[in-house]
Structure 1
C-alpha cells in the first residue's frame, strides 16, 4: 500500500509514493513503524530505524527535512550561504541527493549529535546512468557535501570528512575486476576527482569567507585514461580547478570513513574502497528462515557477477588502497570496515536456503538473547557471527572480535573441528538453559552453545553431550588449568576434550 507524503509541502517529497513497513535497527530491538519511498527496500527501512532517535514511528521525509532545514538555516545565519535563495538551493540539492540515494551526511547529523564529528558520504553506484558514470553530477555532489560540512562545523572546522562508498559495486557494474590494473586506475581517477572537486569547493568558500590554508599541489598525476569513459578527463579538470584557487578554507577534506547506517540507507553494499564480500546476500524468507538473493552489485554485473564479486584477499585491497592513498587527506579505515545491509533475525528454528548458503539461530541462554549467523561458501562454512543483546559493550566487542578471528581462520584453512575442540565446554556467563534450540538443552557459555551448534550443522551432525546443570551454574568457573585464553593454540587431537575448557570474565 502506498500513499502520498503530505508532511512537507512544496518540496520533492510532496506527492512521492510512500510505503509503510515495520523494521528494527537490529534483531533484538523492537520493530518500529517506518514510512519510506515505495521503491526502497527493507534494508533501507532497517537503516532508517537505526538513524532515527527514540523508539516511535519514523517517516523519511519528516526525519530528513529536520536536518536539511536545520542545516540550511544555520548556513544562512552563519553567512556561509549568502542569501535565502542559496539556502533553498542547498536544501533542494540535499533532498535530491537523498531521494536518488546518491549521498547524505553521516548518522551524527540525522541524530542531531553535535558531539560527534560530521561526515558526508557519496554512494558511487548511484551515479551510474544509461551512459555510464555521471562525473559531472558526482563533482557537483562533492561540492554540495563540502558546503554542508562547512555549515555543520559552524564555519570553524579546518578538517572535513567527505568520502565515497561502494567502489566495488561501481567497478563491478562497469565490468572491471577489482584486482585488475584497470580497476585500480579507475579507483585512482575517482579519488582524484573527489579530491579536486572538494578542494575547488573549499577554494570557492575561501574566496568569500577568507582563506586559512595555502593551495598545496601534493597529488600525483591521475591516470591518463580509464575504462570508465570520461572519468580521467573529469579528474584532471577538477584538479586543475583546485590548483587555480587563491587559497583553501580547509587543511583536509577527502577521507574515507568507517560506514554507519547511512551507507545502508543509500543502498551502498561496501564501505569506501573495500572489495565485495560475495555476489549474494541473505534475506528473510517470510517463514522464519533465510534465503539467498543477488546483491545490487551482482544485478548490475549480470552474468559476470560471480567472477567480479568473488571474495578477495587482503592483497587486493592493499593494492587498491595504494592506488587511492595519494589523494586522501587521511588514512583509509581498516579492512574490516564494510557496509553490509542488516541481516534478518528469523524464528528460533532456522531454515536453510535452497543453496545451503547460510542459517540464523536465535536462542536464549540463561535468559540472555543470543543470535548466531553463519554463511557458507563453495567449500563449506565461511563466516560466523554472534550477537548478544544484554551484555556490556566490552564483552560484546570481545565476542565479535573472536568471531572475526574465527572467520579469518576458516578462510585461511583452519578446520572448524579445531575451533570446536577449543571452544566447546568453555565456562563463563551467561550460561544455563538454552531455549530455541531443540538439540541443545544447556550450555556452559555462549561459545559452548555456538560451537556445539556448529558441530551439529557442519561436522556431519556430530552430537556433543550437554554439560551438567552444575557445570552451567554461576559458580562453575573451572579449575585454573582450564581457564585458557579465548584463542588458545589449536589442539593436535580431533575430538573435543570433554568439558576441559573454561573461562572466567572478571570486571
Structure 2
C-alpha cells in the first residue's frame, strides 16, 4: 500500500514523488521515489524489484543497469536515453534479473503494447519498431556470451486493441496482433524469421485496418526471410554473431518474474489475454473499457443504461476468443504460451467430442466481493438456456501464486462444465472448503460469511444457478473431533455414555 506524497523532485524532466510502498500488505513498506503519475501498483512493483531493502529511487536503480549499457563500447548513440524514455512513459521495463544485475541469468524486457496505441491517432508504428530494436540491442549487450536466451515479452494486447477501437474477439483485432508480433520478431531476428512447429509454411502478416501497419510488417517479414535464404542461415531461433538468442513471447498469468514488471507498466491484462473485467479493482471503469466506449461514441452513463436494459455494450471475451487469438499470433512469435486447444485436445478425444461450445457472445454476470478483507472478482459465462458454462476467479490484489492457482481452478471447472460435469458436483466439493482466507463477505447478499474464497464462489454460484442458499458456517465451527480415548492415561476411566449437546471437557487434559 502507498501513503500520500511526502516529497517531490524532478528527474529527466519528470516530476517524482517519494512514498511508502510494499508489495505485500503484511510486510513493512520501504520508501521509494517514482514518477508522480505512477499509480499505487506501480510503486509497489518497484518496491519489489528494486535492489536492496531500504530506500530506493527509480533514478538510482535504473542507472545500475542503464549506466553500463551507456558506457559499452559497442552501444549505439543515445541508447541510454531511449531506454530511460521507454521506462518513464511505462512503455517497457526490464525483468527483475536486469534490475539486480544477475550475471548468468536470462535478461529480458516486457513491452507494453498499449503504450504505442493512441486514441484517434492510430498506432505509432515507427516508435514501436524503434522500441523493439532498442530493447534488442540492450539484451545483446547484457548477454554477450550466447549461453542463455534473452526474452522480449509482449503484454497488454487487449488495452492496445481497445485504444484502437477494436474488439478483442474480431478479425481486425487478430490481424493487428499478428502484425505487431511480426514486427517485434523481425526486430529480434533481422537476418531471418522464426519458424514454429505447427505454423503453416509461408505464413505472412495478414491485412489489418491500421493504415500502413500491414505493408510495413509484411515488408520487414519478407525482407528478413529473403536475407535468411541468401545467407543460408536456419530460420529457426537464429544465433546472431557473438550474441545470445533473443526469443519473442508473451507474459502469462502466474509468471512470477513478469508479473511485477507488468504491474510496473500498468498492464491491465497480461500477454495476449483479454481484459478480465470492465472494472478496475477500485470499482471504476478500466481504461480499456473507457476506450471502447469512446470508440462507440458512448458515455459511461449511456453504456450503463444499455446494460441494464439487457444490451451489454462491452463484450468480455472468453476462452474461445483467447484460443483464436493464440492461433493468429503463434506463427509470428518464437515462443507463445500454451494455447487452450493444446490443453483441451486430449480431453476432447477422451470425451468423444462431447464438449458443448459456448456461444461467441454470451450472457453472465461480473461480481465483486470481499472475503475476509480480500477483494475478488467473479465472472460467469452462460449458454443460451442460462446454464453456467464458464467462470473466472481473480483476486483484486494477490501474489502470483494465488492468482495462478485461482486461474487454474477457473479453467479446470470451466472445462468440466463444458464437458457435462454438473455444477452440483463442484458445489458439493468446494462449499465450506478451508483453502485460504475466510471471514465476512461484503458486496454480495447471497453469502454472509465464507470459510475461504472457493467456499464463497461456489455457494454464490449455487444461489445464482441452482436456486440453493447454503447457510453460513459459524465462524468458530471446527471439524468434528475424533474420539481421543486412545490418548487417555490407562488409569483413567473411559466414558461409557456421552450426553447429548456440546461435548464436555474434563478438568484434566493430556498435553504433549
Aligned equivalent of 2:167, options 177, 180, 198: 177
1:20 matches 2:28:
no
> Structure 2 vs 1, CA of residues 39 and 407 (structure 1 numbering), >3 Å: closer, same or farther?
farther
What is the aligned partner in structure 2 of residue 299 from structure 1?
290
- Aligned-residue RMSD, C-alpha: 4.4
1:324 matches 2:332:
no
What is the aligned partner in structure 2 of residue 310 from structure 1?
315
1:235 matches 2:224:
no
Could you tell me how far 1:31 is from its partner in structure 2? 3.4
1:359 matches 2:353:
no
What is the aligned partner in structure 2 of residue 226 from structure 1?
208
Could you tell me how far 1:240 is from its partner in structure 2? 4.5
Tell me, yes or no, if the aligned pair for 1:17 and 1:37 is still in contact at 8 Å. yes
CA distance in 2, matches of 1:120, 1:310: 31
> Structure 2 vs 1, CA of residues 122 and 442 (structure 1 numbering), >3 Å: closer, same or farther?
closer
CA distance in 1, matches of 2:162, 2:185: 23
1:203-244 Cα shifts (integer Å, max 9, x gaps): 5xxxxxxxxxxx468573534632011111221232244344
Unmatched 5+ stretches in structure 2? 196-200, 234-238, 253-257, 304-311, 342-364, 383-387, 485-512
- Normalised to the residue count of structure 2, the TM-score between the two structures is 0.66
What is the aligned partner in structure 2 of residue 125 from structure 1?
114
Aligned equivalent of 2:247, options 253, 270, 275: 253
Unmatched 5+ stretches in structure 1? 7-12, 204-214, 284-291, 337-354, 364-370, 478-507
Aligned equivalent of 1:463, options 467, 471, 488: 471
Aligned equivalent of 2:96, options 107, 131, 156: 107
Tell me, yes or no, if the aligned pair for 1:177 and 1:308 is still in contact at 8 Å. no
- Normalised to the residue count of structure 1, the TM-score between the two structures is 0.66
Aligned equivalent of 1:43, options 28, 41, 44: 41
> Structure 2 vs 1, CA of residues 466 and 420 (structure 1 numbering), >3 Å: closer, same or farther?
farther
> Structure 2 vs 1, CA of residues 174 and 372 (structure 1 numbering), >3 Å: closer, same or farther?
closer
> Structure 2 vs 1, CA of residues 23 and 328 (structure 1 numbering), >3 Å: closer, same or farther?
same
Aligned equivalent of 1:422, options 429, 435, 458: 429
Which structure 2 residues correspond to residues 342-421 of structure 1 after superposition, within 5 A?
Answer: 357-362=367-372, 371=374, 373-375=376-378, 382-384=391-393, 401-402=408-409, 405-406=412-413, 419-421=426-428
Tell me, yes or no, if the aligned pair for 1:168 and 1:270 is still in contact at 8 Å. yes
CA distance in 2, matches of 1:372, 1:476: 39
CA distance in 1, matches of 2:194, 2:409: 43
CA distance in 2, matches of 1:262, 1:276: 18
Tell me, yes or no, if the aligned pair for 2:439 and 2:475 is still in contact at 8 Å. no
Aligned residue for 1:280, secondary structure, equals coil
Aligned equivalent of 2:177, options 182, 187, 205: 187
Which structure 2 residues correspond to residues 70-85 of structure 1 after superposition, within 5 A?
Answer: 70-73=68-71, 76=72, 79-81=73-75
CA distance in 2, matches of 1:316, 1:362: 34
Aligned equivalent of 2:29, options 17, 28, 31: 31
